[in-house]
Amino acid sequence: MLNNETMHAAVHRYIAALNAGDLEAIVALYAENGSVEDPIGTPPHQGHAAIRAFYAKSLAIKLEVALEGPIRAAANEAAFAFCVRLHWQGQDRVIRPIDVFRFNEAGKITSMRAIFGPENMAAG
């Protein structure tokens, strides 16, 4: 079982990499067979190549990302609320998702699921 410090550190590296637009740092957080379901209910992106392509599209828009509250971690999972500010289609936007990471024993993300819907998106 992972310790919470390892999972907290991975979340902080994820937030920092999103803010820096560092695609390779994000992909490096994932296990080779990891998956991203963002948002939940959409087809997952499986494996490093698909994860890289997904985040490349996201990072094409400059993001400002900040945690909103504490990271919750137990067993091999961590959940965290955060705020994403971006300029898209001529408008400033704010999205407030909760992401859930599942980790393997090596501390790599095996699954990321983003929970948000229209009520979590606004002009900003």
Q: Give the active site residues.
A: 14, 38
- As given in the structure block, the two tokens for residue 60 are 């094409």
Cross-strand bridge partners of residue 122 = 94
Which single residue is written with the structure tokens 């209910």?
41
- In angstroms, the first-to-last Cα distance of the chain is 40
How far apart are the C-alpha atoms of 3 and 1, rounded to whole Å? 7
Spacing of C-alpha 13 from chain mean position: 10
